[in-house]
Chains A and B, each alone.
Chain A
């Protein structure tokens, strides 16, 4: 599949600070980049996604940016709150053959927001 690298593996911030998580991918044909949030003991859920025809997308306190030339995309969380504490996963479409909605996920980032 696609090769997706995610950094950092852990991120600790104070409430109110911003948090940035970055992912790089290898297949230049990739065109869909979702971000999933997994709270402790819960299932991963989609929080935002971006397609390759746009460079940035925002939804309240979260935003995703995409740089197709450099093959990286980032999740930005502003004014972090304790409930943002979770594991965040980036993903990119499976490379090679028909996608069928298959994704390759990054290794995950454990975000901790301290009150």
Chain B
């Protein structure tokens, strides 16, 4: 059974803070993704990684960076959080087709 976990379910931060969201998968998947989910906008890809230390921008990378130091772990970093980054953040991993999602982190930036 594939398991994708995220470090927090709920997070409240202040504007300007540096925020780390972590995602871990236990199925040795090469590819990992970070999405943000907003009502009416679906799931929008922020960044993805296809191997350790390899990353590429998705559709909405502005204001975010990522880190993949180990195959099982993919981190999303908000260098200086802003209120417009309040959202649900979902991590996913895939061996090729089906994507397996984490439970999500509801981030509120005050």
**A-side interface residues toward B, CB under 8 Å?**
1, 6, 9, 32, 34, 36, 42-46, 49, 89, 94, 98, 100-108
Contact A106 B42 (CB under 8 A): yes
Overall SS of chain A's interface: loop
Give the residue of A1, A6, A45, A49 whose beta carbon is less than 8 angstroms from that of B101: A45
B48-69 near A? 1/0 per residue, CB < 8 Å: 1010000000110000000000
A104 neighbours in B (Cβ, 8 Å): 45, 59
Residues in chain B near residue A106, CB distance under 8 A: 42
Q: Say yes or no: is B110 at the interface (Cβ < 8 Å to chain A).
A: no
B31 interface neighbour in A9, A44, A100, Cβ under 8 Å? A100
Whether A46 contacts B50 in the complex (CB less than 8 A), given A9-B40, A101-B31, comes out as: no
Q: B residues within 8 A CB of A42?
A: 103
Q: Which of B11-37 contact A (CB under 8 A)?
A: 30-31, 33, 35
How many Å from the CB of A68 to the closest CB on chain B? 18
Query: Bound complex: CA of A99 vs CA of B87, how far in Å?
Result: 26
B97 & A102 in contact (Cβ 8 Å cutoff): no
Q: Does B82 contact A (CB under 8 A)?
A: no
Q: Can you sample 17 A-B contacts with CB below 8 Å? A: A34-B97, A34-B98, A36-B99, A42-B103, A43-B90, A43-B101, A45-B101, A100-B31, A100-B48, A100-B50, A101-B31, A101-B94, A101-B96, A104-B45, A105-B35, A107-B40, A108-B42
Which interface residue of A46, A94, A103, A104 has the most chain B CB atoms within 10 A?
Answer: A103
3 tightest A-B CB contacts, nearest first: A101-B94, A43-B101, A105-B43
Report the nearest A residue to B102, measured CB to CB.
A43
Residues on A with C-beta less than 8 A from B42 are: 6, 89, 105-108
The reply to whether B99 and A101 form a contact with Cβ atoms under 8 Å apart is: yes
* Residues on the B chain within 8 Å of A44, using CB: 43, 90, 99, 101
Partner of B98, one of A1, A6, A49, A107: A49
What residues of chain B lie closer than 8 Å to A105, measured between beta carbons?
35, 42-44
B4 surroundings in chain A (CB, below 8 A): 43
